[in-house]
Amino acid sequence: MIKILTVIGARPQFIKAAVLSRLIKKEEYSSKIEEIIVHTGQHYDENMSDIFFKEMEIPKPDYHLGVGSLSHGAMTAAMLEKIEKLILKEKPDILLVYGDTNSTLAGALSASKLLVPVAHVEAGLRSFMMIMPEEQNRRLTDHLSTYLFCPTEVAIRNLEKEGIPFQKPPKPSADEKSVSLCGDIMFEASLYYRKKAENQESKVLKNLPDKFILLTMHRQENTDNMSRLSSIFSALNRINDFEIVFPVHPRTRKIIEKNGISFNKHIHCIEPV
């Protein structure tokens, strides 16, 4: 039996992980694959974590590391230490990570140092902006990984430009990587959850306008720069020909409240959904 240690820590990763976890639990694979789920705690409040395990039908984590809101360095270091101990305890055949978070990099680095093969779902995606922590995480994770699962052909070409060829060697390793074109796991998730979303009884969602623009705002390049943030919201306040629905990230909400930013009536602020 293959033992997979899956490391997740952020909201989108919960949703992606649920797709694969459900598949692993099917009769076809349940006798061949054992999955151990590790939740780092990177997204730590009730709305950003626990509710997703319930509503998205994600198996409860086997381990919760409790690494919450810290600086990038402190957070990654704390995760490294705790994930390393779990790898030594569980002795997985593969460590699986998703996306581009600090949890992803910490998992990949811990495993690679202990010579455990790393599988990276959503490999090859690039913003080409190394100033972004997410770009640093995804690039480093790709180069540490043995198995790279790419959602698009563009992702494969990005890896080729970095010296990682599109191949499936007979004995994959961190030096001779196996690269696959597998499609977008988030699209798989959207198909599964579409009916559930249409049938939900949420009062908040029922009160939304029939037509609206969906706004998200959480990248630190925008939220941590007050000149940029003020400019964005000033422009949004002027775009009053449309209703705008804004699910507010907890971190963004703190910054908005701290700086006394206000919105016109056409901008509807709701909790994360």
Distance between alpha carbon 199 and the CA centroid of its chain, in Å? 25
Q: What is the spatial distance between Cα 223 and Cα 225, in angstroms, rounded to a whole number?
A: 6
Residue 83 sits in a domain of what CATH number?
A: 3.40.50.2000
On whether both 161 and 242 belong to a single domain, the answer is no
- pLDDT (0 to 100) of residue 220: 80
52 found inside a domain: yes
On whether both 67 and 101 belong to a single domain, the answer is yes
* 99 and 122 Cβ atoms separated by less than 8 Å: yes
Q: What is the spatial distance between Cα 17 and Cα 37, in angstroms, rounded to a whole number?
A: 9
On whether both 56 and 181 belong to a single domain, the answer is yes
On whether both 18 and 99 belong to a single domain, the answer is yes
What backbone torsions phi and psi does residue 164 show, to the nearest 5 degrees?
-110, 100
One-letter amino acid at 121 equals V
Q: What is the spatial distance between Cα 220 and Cα 41, in angstroms, rounded to a whole number?
A: 19
**Domain count across the chain:** 2
Domain span at 62: 2-190
On whether both 17 and 73 belong to a single domain, the answer is yes
- Paired tokens of 111: 């495993």
On whether both 94 and 209 belong to a single domain, the answer is no
Q: What is the spatial distance between Cα 172 and Cα 150, in angstroms, rounded to a whole number?
A: 16
* 81 and 104 Cβ atoms separated by less than 8 Å: no
Q: Measured over all CA atoms, what is the biggest interatomic distance in the chain, rounded to whole angstroms?
A: 60
pTM above 0.75, yes or no: yes
On whether both 243 and 137 belong to a single domain, the answer is no
End-of-domain residue from the set 190, 217, 245: 190
Q: With the C-alpha atoms ordered 85, 108, 49, 71, is the resulting torsion angle positive or negative?
A: positive
205 found inside a domain: yes
195 found inside a domain: no
- Paired tokens of 43: 């997204």
218 catalytically annotated: yes
HSE-up of residue 226 (Cα within 13 Å, Cβ side): 7
From first to last of its 273 residues, the chain has per-residue pLDDT tens of 999 999 998 878 888 898 999 999 998 999 999 999 999 987 655 555 566 667 778 778 899 998 877 788 899 999 999 999 999 999 999 999 999 999 999 999 999 999 999 999 999 999 999 999 999 999 999 999 999 999 999 999 999 999 999 999 999 999 999 999 999 999 998 888 887 777 766 665 667 788 999 999 888 888 888 889 889 999 999 988 889 999 998 889 999 898 888 899 999 998 877
Q: What is the spatial distance between Cα 7 and Cα 107, in angstroms, rounded to a whole number?
A: 6
232 found inside a domain: yes
The burial of 52, by beta-carbon neighbours within 10 Å (0-12 exposed, 13-18 middle, 19 or more buried), is given as buried
pLDDT for 146-201, tens place per residue? Answer: 999 999 999 999 999 999 999 999 999 999 999 999 999 999 988 888 877 777 66
38 found inside a domain: yes
Question: Which candidate in 64, 143, 218, 268 is catalytic?
Answer: 218
* 3 and 85 Cβ atoms separated by less than 8 Å: no
* 100 and 122 Cβ atoms separated by less than 8 Å: yes
On whether both 71 and 52 belong to a single domain, the answer is yes
End-of-domain residue from the set 164, 190, 216: 190
64 Cβ contact partners less than 8 Å away, ≥ 6 residues apart: 39, 41
248 found inside a domain: yes
224 found inside a domain: yes
* 121 and 153 Cβ atoms separated by less than 8 Å: no
On whether both 209 and 242 belong to a single domain, the answer is yes
On whether both 178 and 219 belong to a single domain, the answer is no
**39 beta partners:** 8, 64
One-letter amino acid at 81 equals E
Distances (CA, A) of 101 to 97, 234, 241, 270: 9, 30, 36, 25
On whether both 241 and 133 belong to a single domain, the answer is no
On whether both 55 and 178 belong to a single domain, the answer is yes
Q: What is the spatial distance between Cα 208 and Cα 187, in angstroms, rounded to a whole number?
A: 24
196 found inside a domain: no
End-of-domain residue from the set 161, 190, 219: 190
Calculate helix-pair angle for 133-144, 102-113, nearest 10 degrees. Answer: 30
